[in-house]
Amino acid sequence: MAGVLFVISMLAITGIPGFNGYISKTLIHDALLEAYHHYGGIHIYIAEKVFMLGSALTLCYYLKFFLGVFGGASPDAVLKRRPPFLLYLPFALLIPLMLAVGLFPNYFVEGFVLTSAAGFTFEPYSIKHITGFLFFDNAPLEASLMVLLLGLLLYLPVVRLRLLTRPLPRWLSIEYLLLAPLVSLSYRILLRSGCGLDQGINRFYYGLAAKFLNLSVYCSAFDHGVDSFYSHSGDKVRTLVESFRQVDDTLNQAYSATGKAARGLAGRTADLDGALDKGYERAGEYARDLTKRTSDLDEALDKGYERAGEYARDLTKRTSELDGALDRGYEKAGSTARRLVDRKNDNELLPPGETTDEKDDADTTKRKARLASLSPLEWNIRNLSFDSLLLAVMLGLVIFVLLFFARGLVAF
């Protein structure tokens, strides 16, 4: 199966009629003949002959390849091995297409090639002459037959004489004709260029070495000057370092003495701090005790104030009741006193022979009007001294109660 597929592909690529390769080779060969007919020129003629020879040689080396692969006996391992189906899938898709193009070339040329050529930049009239091209005319078939015969004429003597198995002369080998001259030319070019490059590098190195030598002389002189400077400055630095060492020793001794004093002071400070801590603790205890006692005293005072307030409110209430009773008594006493005074005055002013009752009847209206105009408060003014005395007594009593309870709380 593989051999049959290879033969079909070989016939297509060598330009045998009925396959797609025949169409492309026929168009190229016709283009060369038309160019030679219109323009002439030996180069076009030679190109047409070389094209025919190349097609014949294509047939030759594909025949050689076919006989070399499929002509001998196959090993048993190869015969037993069945190729996978996917290996035949490209051939199954392409071989019908190759046969369709080879058998119906005008349909594909006019339907695809000319249509696609309209999108290119060259003038489409230059390929319009292939419309209705006679692919199976006598001239294209004769050209294809000539290629086939030429290929067989070239291949059969070579196989007959076994020229393919004989080694070629050395002067015909690629090594002698191409590789050896190329290697020799490359060697000469590289040798000359390498020598020139080497000389240039040597000159560069010599010049650079001379510059570095001069630079070394300058650097040596500079280094000598630097060494002299380092020597003199080193002596001065050593003297200065010795002075610094002495100062450092003195400072170390001072640091040692001050360190001892500082340690002693730190010890004393620690003792003082401990004593202060103890004092602070004791003072804190005393303060907490005092705070507790103050809190107790404050609570006792609050209770005393509450009791004194209750007593004061009760005393105030009773004083108010007493004052109301006194006011009512004062009003009654005032009314009685006014009546007595009025009667006394009336008896003194009464004419002889007139009785009190008659006078009372005559002055009843006047007394009622005068009594209506008088206020009981006016009669209370007379008793102001007594009220003041009573208020002073009550205030003294309140102060006595407060002092009594305050003394008891302090004693507590």
What's the confidence (pLDDT) of residue 19?
86
Q: What is the pLDDT of residue 44?
A: 87
CA-to-CA dists, residue 309 to 25, 100, 260, 402, 405, angstroms: 138, 132, 70, 10, 12
Residue 98 belongs to some domain of the structure: yes
CA distance 274 to 225: 68
The reply to whether 24 falls in a domain is yes
Q: What is the pLDDT of residues 96-131, one digit of tens each?
A: 888 888 888 888 888 877 777 777 666 655 677 677
Identify the DSSP state of 173: S
Q: Which of 166, 192, 208 finishes a domain?
A: 166
Q: Are residues 291 and 160 in the same domain?
A: no
Domain boundary among 126, 142, 166: 166
Instruction: Reply yes or no on whether the pLDDT at 37 is more than 80.
Output: yes
Mean pLDDT value of segment 261-270: 84
Q: What is the mean pLDDT of the chain?
A: 77
Higher pLDDT, 337 or 215: 215
pLDDT bin (cut points 50, 70, 90) of residue 365 is low
Name the band, by pLDDT with cuts 50, 70 and 90, for residue 352. low
Q: How many CA atoms lie within 13 A of 196 on its CB side?
A: 6
Domain boundary among 166, 199, 217: 166
pLDDT at 341: 64
Q: Is the pTM of this model over 0.85?
A: no
The answer to which of 90-104, 274-288, 383-397 has the lowest mean pLDDT is 383-397
- CA–CA dist 214, 216 (Å, integer): 5
Is position 196 within any domain? Answer: no
Number of structural domains, the chain? 2
92/392 Cα distance (integer angstroms): 142
Percentages helix, strand, coil for the chain, rounded to the nearest 5? 90, 0, 10
In a shared domain, residues 158 and 301:
no
DSSP codes, 279-313:
HHHHHHHHHHHHHHHHHHHHHHHHHHHHHHHHHHH
| Whether 14 contacts 151, CB under 8 Å | yes
Domain that holds residue 350: 286-411
> Is the pLDDT at 213 greater than 50, yes or no?
yes
Q: Is 80 or 261 the better-scoring residue by pLDDT?
A: 261
Which token pair is 78? 């190869």
Cβ atoms 164, 158 nearer than 8 A: yes
157 assigned to some structural domain:
yes
User: Would residue 162 count as lying in a domain?
Assistant: yes
- Would you say residue 360 has pLDDT above 70? no
Q: pLDDT by residue (tens digit) across 45-97?
A: 899 889 888 888 888 888 888 877 776 655 554 555 666 777 778 888 888 88
Q: For the residues 385-410, what does the mean pLDDT come to?
A: 71
In the block, residue with structure tokens 């209705």 = 132
Looking at per-residue confidence, does 298 or 296 come out higher? 296
Query: Using a CB cutoff of 8 Å and minimum separation of 24, what contacts does 125-131 make?
Result: 130/27
What pLDDT digit, counting tens, does each position of 401-412 carry? 777 766 655 554
Tell whether 344 is covered by a domain: yes
Given this model, what pLDDT does residue 379 score?
Answer: 47
Residue 324 lies in a domain: yes
Say if 94 falls within a structural domain. Answer: yes
Residues 290 and 148 in one domain: no
Burial 268-302 (b: 16+ CB within 10 A, else e): eeeeeeeeeeeeeeeeeeeeeeeeeeeeeeeeeee
pLDDT tens per residue, range 124-170: 556 776 777 888 888 888 888 888 888 888 888 877 776 666 666 77
What are the pLDDT digits (tens) for 309-344? 787 687 778 777 877 777 787 678 777 767 776 676
State yes or no: pLDDT of 367 exceeds 60: no
Residue, of 35 and 351, whose pLDDT is higher: 35
pLDDT at 400: 79
Same domain, 152 and 300: no
Output the pLDDT for position 11.
85
